[in-house]
Chains A and B, each alone.
Chain A
Amino acid sequence: MNTQLILEVKDLVTKFYTLEGVVHAVSGVSFDLEEGETLAIVGESGSGKSVTVMSILGLIQSPPGKVEGGQAYFAGKYGRRDLLKLTPAELRNVRGGQIGFVFQDPISSLNPILTVGEQISETLVKHLGMSGEEAQKKTIELLEQVGIPDPKMRYRNYPHQFSGGMRQRVMIAIAIACNPAIIIADEATTALDVTIQAQIVDLFQRLRNVIGLAVIWITHDLGVVAGLADRVLVMYGGRVAEIALVDDLYKRPQHPYTIGLLSAITRLDARRSNRLVSIEGTPPDMLIPITHCPFAPRCPYVFERCWQEIPSLIVVGKQHLTSCFYDLDKRRPRDG
């Protein structure tokens, strides 16, 4: 198979220097993204999933935040470049132009005093150098493409005149306006009701098939991921716990945290059971630097070694990596 990597992230480290101490938000995260692929980054709040992508795109506010290590090679229009080494102006060009975003909360990401049409046209004029008239025509096309009824009239509306689901469609229109190579959707459907969430997920799938977008889908919801992602990256405590193709992850999870997450969620197609399997304890305090596996305090398979060193990712199958010292198939600690 001849697939092109458009994003390669290596050993990313991001810390926040706060009054209470240093928050170790991301500690050595590596992953890559193929052209046209949908990669889901799954984790609970504070696991570092959003900080990971914000770091890559230079969106970490400094101070208090600081990207302290790693590389992020992006194969964009101007060749393969390390995003972490670009100037702020170059980065601005990448953001919006070649990498688009959709955030969780569309109301705070849209400007309340500009019409929706103006906000989309702005992107087109700025990044593609279109004239005002061209931009308006293209904007109406885009609104239609993301399923907003009566786009000509809606062009002149302000964000408050749109519902949550419609605003999210506007955000998607802005994100795809400049034909980006990648779209990053950060909890894009979390604030929406299920029936609206289904509409947005459906729209993403259609756009992926039509435009061939690569998508990084950040979420805490393993349910949405199942129907959407090609590969899944599970984060815990600022590190990668497991990466696998979507089928493998759900069928043959190789990290105790992934197993815990999968059994903690209720399934509509399951028979009513009396008790949920919960992961005992609480997520790690990111203020405390660790020298052991971050999941060790909550792990049912924990043994001596887990307390002595931090596991790194090892290959356990085709495109399947896990950072765990315990071999879940053989039910014993791994060799070496």
Chain B
Amino acid sequence: MVKNKVLLRIENLKKYFPISGGLLSRRVGAVRAVDGISFDIKKGETLGLVGESGCGKSTTGRAILQLYKPSSGNVFFENTDLTKISTEELRQFRPKMQMIFQDPYTSLNPRHSVGKIIAEPLVIQGLMSKQQRKDQVAQLLELVGMNPAFMHRYPHEFSSGQRQRIGIARAISLNPSFIVCDEPISSLDVSIQAQVINLLQDLQEQFSLTYLFIAHDLSMVKHISHRIAVMYLGKIVEFAGGNALFNNPLHPYTQSLISAVPVPDPQVERKRHRIILEGEVPSPTNPPKGCVFSTRCPLAIDTCFLAPPEYREVQPEHFVACHRVRAG
């Protein structure tokens, strides 16, 4: 159940990656991966973060967890600003915030047994005896639908879906309250994707977990998320509850994104009107002056090229950054 208590509040978060060049390796520019975004994540909800490759969605996830130090902005976790505290203090928060990675091959150490991989966070936090850890690992494996005897095996002995389960077991080993799921299913086969999504939902219910679910697959995001943020070139262009976003998308980018997703039904596909965007996403080193989407927007007018639109609430709980959308 989604309560209205805010777990995380992100305020004007920015992450620029410097580009150095020239003889003295001076700073010559910056990749504006995340360029001033604000939103909150409520306790027990799944917040979907969608966008195309390079839009800054993964950077957002990592900057929230302080895996990248944000260039500016604040991240409040249960009222503590994670950007202001020391590394030592931050370590106290680490068990509460975990991450599930996209690639189940590179995110598991091939030389460690599954038991060692899952127990590693427990070892680092130093809370348990060896036997306790072993019992805990067995329990975790069972929880993610695997045989506890597998703890003695190595990652290469498992399929990608099973590896992703191991990654999930590791993420929940410290009893976190918040998990960033960074494209957790995009490298899995369709029949396996559904298994992993169901597992994530079961765990959420059982342990009242809060997810930030990062993905480019809109239909999967729609299935799992309570609210959804759409990102484009480092900015959030639209933010709304799942139903509102899909039934009444306001931003032209969201509209074209939704229309580009194929529906697995030939009859629907034949009748559908598709908004095909011209061109491609501009470079984040040199984003457009006005609205970030102006170079591809079918509705752009003069204003759009001159000034960035304000990110505002146009309907209750429905935020959009677009000059062409009227409030009401």
Chain A residues with CB under 8 Å of chain B are 44-45, 163, 165-166, 193-199, 201-202, 220-227, 246-247, 250, 260-262, 264-269, 272-280, 282-283
The reply to whether B265 and A250 form a contact with Cβ atoms under 8 Å apart is yes
List the count of A-B residue pairs having beta carbons below 8 Å apart. Answer: 125
Closest Cβ of chain B: how far from A220's Cβ, in Å? 6
Residue numbers in B under 8 Å from A247 (CB-CB): 266-267
Residue numbers in A under 8 Å from B262 (CB-CB): 201, 221, 223-224, 226-227
Residue numbers in B under 8 Å from A246 (CB-CB): 266
Closest Cβ of chain B: how far from A6's Cβ, in Å? 23
Interface residues on B, range: 35 or more
The reply to whether B52 and A195 form a contact with Cβ atoms under 8 Å apart is yes
Q: Does B53 sit within 8 A of A, measured CB to CB? A: yes
- Whether A193 touches B276, Cβ cut-off 8 Å, given contacts A246-B266, A278-B195, A282-B161, is no
The reply to whether B189 and A197 form a contact with Cβ atoms under 8 Å apart is no
Per a CB cutoff under 8 Å, which of B258, B261, B274, B277 touches A223?
B261
Q: Does B19 sit within 8 A of A, measured CB to CB? A: no
Residue numbers in B under 8 Å from A268 (CB-CB): 218-219, 222, 246, 258, 261, 263
Measured between alpha carbons, how far is A44 from B193 in the docked complex, in Å?
Answer: 11
Residue numbers in A under 8 Å from B277 (CB-CB): 195, 198-199
> 21 A–B contact pairs at CB < 8 A?
A44-B190, A194-B260, A196-B52, A198-B277, A221-B262, A223-B219, A224-B262, A226-B269, A227-B266, A227-B272, A250-B264, A264-B190, A264-B194, A265-B190, A269-B268, A272-B223, A272-B242, A274-B201, A276-B194, A279-B195, A283-B189
Q: Does B220 sit within 8 A of A, measured CB to CB? A: yes
Residue numbers in A under 8 Å from B264 (CB-CB): 222-223, 225-226, 250, 262, 265, 267
Considering only residues 177-208 of chain B, those with a C-beta below 8 Å from chain A are 189-195, 197-198, 201
The reply to whether A275 and B195 form a contact with Cβ atoms under 8 Å apart is no
Closest Cβ of chain B: how far from A106's Cβ, in Å? 14
Residue numbers in A under 8 Å from B194 (CB-CB): 264-265, 276-279
Q: Mark B229-273, 1 if CB is under 8 A from A, else 0.
A: 000000000000011001000000000111111111111111010
The reply to whether A227 and B189 form a contact with Cβ atoms under 8 Å apart is no
The reply to whether B260 and A266 form a contact with Cβ atoms under 8 Å apart is no
The reply to whether A222 and B256 form a contact with Cβ atoms under 8 Å apart is no
Measured between alpha carbons, how far is A193 from B266 in the docked complex, in Å?
Answer: 21
The reply to whether B261 and A266 form a contact with Cβ atoms under 8 Å apart is no
| Residue in chain A with minimal CB distance to B242 | A272
Closest Cβ of chain B: how far from A156's Cβ, in Å? 20
Per a CB cutoff under 8 Å, which of A202, A221, A260 touches B191?
A260
Measured between alpha carbons, how far is A247 from B268 in the docked complex, in Å?
Answer: 11
Q: List the 10 shortest-distance A-B pairs measured between CB atoms, nearest first.
A: A227-B269, A278-B194, A223-B262, A193-B52, A279-B191, A276-B194, A44-B189, A198-B260, A264-B194, A266-B219
Measured between alpha carbons, how far is A275 from B219 in the docked complex, in Å?
Answer: 14
Residue numbers in A under 8 Å from B52 (CB-CB): 193-196
Considering only residues 16-31 of chain B, those with a C-beta below 8 Å from chain A are none
The reply to whether A282 and B265 form a contact with Cβ atoms under 8 Å apart is no
Closest Cβ of chain B: how far from A136's Cβ, in Å? 26
Per a CB cutoff under 8 Å, which of B195, B223, B267 touches A280?
B195
Residue numbers in B under 8 Å from A250 (CB-CB): 264-266
| Residue in chain A with minimal CB distance to B187 | A45
Measured between alpha carbons, how far is A246 from B268 in the docked complex, in Å?
Answer: 12
The reply to whether B280 and A163 form a contact with Cβ atoms under 8 Å apart is yes
Interface centre among B258, B266, B272 (most CB of A within 10 A): B266
The reply to whether B265 and A226 form a contact with Cβ atoms under 8 Å apart is yes
Q: Does B318 sit within 8 A of A, measured CB to CB? A: no
Residue numbers in A under 8 Å from B191 (CB-CB): 44, 260-261, 264, 278-279, 283
